Amino acid sequence: MIKYKDFAPRITERGPFGGPSDYESFSEVVSAVNQWIENTTIQVINVETVVLPDRIKGMGDGDYGVTTSNAFYPVMISQGLAINYFQCVRVWYRE
């Protein structure tokens, strides 16, 4: 059975009063992917980067969200309303 796992930047420091937070760099995300691959018994099929919305549920440990680093993509969908997207790594694999 083919499965996938997404890795996105985790919050490293929360902003005051729900304001902007600091996030991992993309290179730190790639490092987390490499560690996960080394520590599991899977057959990697493909690794790709994908751009996803700012809220991802069920991705494992830590808080994931919009990165303010080089992987940040705000998209205007309506007058003054923006949805933030971020670059993450998707690993396709077999167990």
Convert 67-84 to b/e letters by CB count within 10 Å (16 or more is b).
bebebebeeeeeeeeeee
By three-state DSSP, how is residue 26 classified? helix
pTM for the full model? 0.69
pLDDT at 89: 93
pLDDT, tens digit (0-9, with 9 covering 90-100), for 36-95: 999 999 999 999 998 877 654 433 444 444 333 444 455 556 666 666 677 889 999 999
Q: Is residue 64 within 8 Å of 8, Cβ to Cβ? A: yes
Tell the burial category of 7 from Cβ atoms under 10 Å away from its Cβ (0-12, 13-18, 19+): buried
CA distances from 60 to 17, 29, 57, 67, 84 (A): 25, 13, 8, 17, 21
Confidence of residue 24 (pLDDT cuts 50, 70, 90): confident
- CA atoms of 31 and 53, how far apart (whole Å): 21
